[in-house]
Amino acid sequence: MIKSRVKEIVDHCFAEGVQQGYWSDGAAGRYTIEVPKREGQGDFSTNFALVAAGIDKRKPRDLAAQFAALLTQHAIFTRVEVAGPGFINLFLSKEVWAAVLAPIYEQNERFGCCDIGGGRRVLVEFVSANPTGPLSVGHGRNAVLGDAIARVLAAAGYAVHREYYFNDAGRQMRVLGESTRARYLELLGLANTFPEDGYQGDYIYDIARSMIADGGDRFQDAEVTVFKDRAQQAIFADIDATLKRIGIGFDTYFNEHTLYEDGRINEVVDTLRAKGLVYEKEGATWFKTSEFGQEQDRVIIKSTGEPTYRLPDIAYHCDKFKRGFDWMVNVFGSDHIATVPDVLAGIKALGYDDTRITVVLYQFVTLLRDGKQVKMSTRKATFVTVDELVDEVGPDALRFFFLMRKPDNLIEFDLDLAKKQSQENPVFYVQYAHARLCSIEKQANEQGIATGTAEQALPLLVEPEEYALLKAMAEYPQLVAGAATDLAPHRVVFYLMELAGQFHSFYNKHKVLGTDQELSQSRLCLCGALKRVFRNGLHLIGLSAPESM
């Protein structure tokens, strides 16, 4: 919003300087406009002179002085100064930042949205957990991250499609069926052999009990497929219910088994073979990934005849391309880091543009209770499920804590902190800011104090804390656009925490509803805008915006 306006002016002045012969056009598109990290260095800063100096063989500060002279002609800047080796610091008038108030009220729920996506179709694939057990906290981070990415992309004008890749084929499903059959026979008191790497959670017993309740011992001689299908159906119903608890749904579920039934797996192998990119060795089928920058080739069909998971993944991504998506975003755990290049190599080998696929890899989650790590294991009975986490801390805290770190950072989820009803808890801290703003509005209504207009408020909002809040709100649309472009919804969390800190600081220092009627109305205008930004930001990442706490 404001940054875009500043960039237009800076670009205009750059072009004007080229026309005047002050510098060449070699720096076009190469200089940046950033928010300085230190106070006192302006609202924005550009490194134009440093970039142009290297190209034109000039002194940076000389170029900076010429550029500053052009910039000062624009009323948006109250001060333009050359600093350090040649940075140009730009100071904006308070009126520029205060101009954000009117758009916030006019756009309301749409404030912060933009159209940088231009309606381009984006497929976001996330969760995609094997239906072999309840969702663990690791799956929970995937779900929240993927949903938040989809939300920011939609807010930025992309046509977003959410998809769950349903792994209902392969070895892990056979093991699930064997585990369920063994528990079924065990509960009937019949001889059984539990698979060495079987799924040991209590949920397997629950599925086996339901089969006994439905049919007694009539399944004792049934094929393992019967047990697999029953377990898969029960587990996926559980996964779906868990996702709904945290407000997550999908447009489509893609079943892996269709890739086998439709012959798309064989089609991939045949095409790669025709291109001379597949060969046989030691009874297995290998893909020449070494021709695509990999250190070694990879097996795509084992000597047993069973495909490795790289092969169906390649076939699945071919299907995504055929469905006409402009951009494909995959949210995977860091354990996929070794296989991602292989799948992208397969896509490229088959003639597709692999740059249209972006993979977001996230680190896993460590749960802490009383400062000690809570142990987890997906196959044993000691893992912690998303449902258990929601029961303990609630869906809002779960979402917020999962988004408090960049995807590639490990999360230490402090259960004790997440449950605290105090400002030590970051999600409480942010939501309480919204609730406090709602309370102020309610008190104003009871006292008959009307909210002032943006035009009325402008001359009276003179305190540094008010200026900081106006500036922060003006930055929100740019923040959303950047979060979408970089697939970085954690930035919304960081922004809300900082905005909450600024608001609480303002509230503790200045009385909103006082004896000065006009000042009260002006500050009510400021608070009403803040309430809308908090609500929009919280809803953007899937959290509620409580009116009281």
Which residues, 6+ apart, have CB-to-CB distance to 475 below 8 Å?
1, 2, 3, 35, 495
Which residues, 6+ apart, have CB-to-CB distance to 398 below 8 Å?
140, 144, 246, 386, 389, 390, 418
Helix, coil or strand: residue 373: strand
Give the pLDDT score at 354. 95
Tokens of 208: 């086996």
Residue closest to 499 by CA, chosen among 402, 434, 404? 434
| DSSP H or E run through 75 | none
- pLDDT tens, residue order, the chain (549 aa): 788 889 999 999 999 999 999 999 999 999 999 988 887 888 999 999 999 999 999 999 999 999 999 999 998 999 999 999 999 999 998 888 888 999 999 999 999 999 999 999 999 999 999 888 899 898 999 999 999 999 999 999 999 999 999 988 778 889 999 999 999 999 999 999 999 889 988 899 999 999 999 999 999 999 999 999 999 999 999 999 999 999 999 999 999 999 999 999 999 999 999 999 999 999 999 999 999 988 899 999 999 988 998 999 999 999 999 999 999 999 999 988 989 999 999 999 999 999 999 999 999 899 998 888 887 554 445 578 899 999 999 999 999 999 999 999 999 999 999 999 999 999 999 999 999 999 999 999 999 999 999 888 888 999 999 999 999 999 999 999 999 999 999 999 999 999 999 999 999 999 999 989 999 999 999 999 999 999 999 999 999 999 998
Give the pLDDT score at 380. 45
Q: How far apart are CA 464 and CA 506, in angstroms?
A: 9
Contact 256, 166 (CB under 8 A): yes
Could you give the count of Cα atoms lying within 13 Å of 288 in the half-sphere of its Cβ? 13
How far is C-alpha 107 from the chain's CA centre? 24
Burial class (CB in 10 A: 0-12, 13-18, 19+), 109: exposed
Q: How far apart are CA 206 and CA 190, in angstroms?
A: 17
Contact 448, 81 (CB under 8 A): no
Q: How far apart are CA 22 and CA 59, in angstroms?
A: 12
Residue closest to 157 by CA, chosen among 107, 110, 120? 120
Give the pLDDT score at 382. 57
At residue 509, what are phi and psi to the nearest 5 degrees?
-105, -30
Domains and CATH numbers, the chain: 2-92 (3.30.1360.70), 171-245 (no CATH)
Contact 77, 90 (CB under 8 A): yes
End-to-end CA distance of the chain: 33
The residue type of 418 is: A
Q: How far apart are CA 164 and CA 30, in angstroms?
A: 40
Q: How far apart are CA 434 and CA 549, in angstroms?
A: 10
b/e per residue 515-535 (b: at least 16 CB within 10 A) = eeeebbbbbbbbbbbbbbbbb
Q: How far apart are CA 13 and CA 534, in angstroms?
A: 36
pTM of the model: 0.90
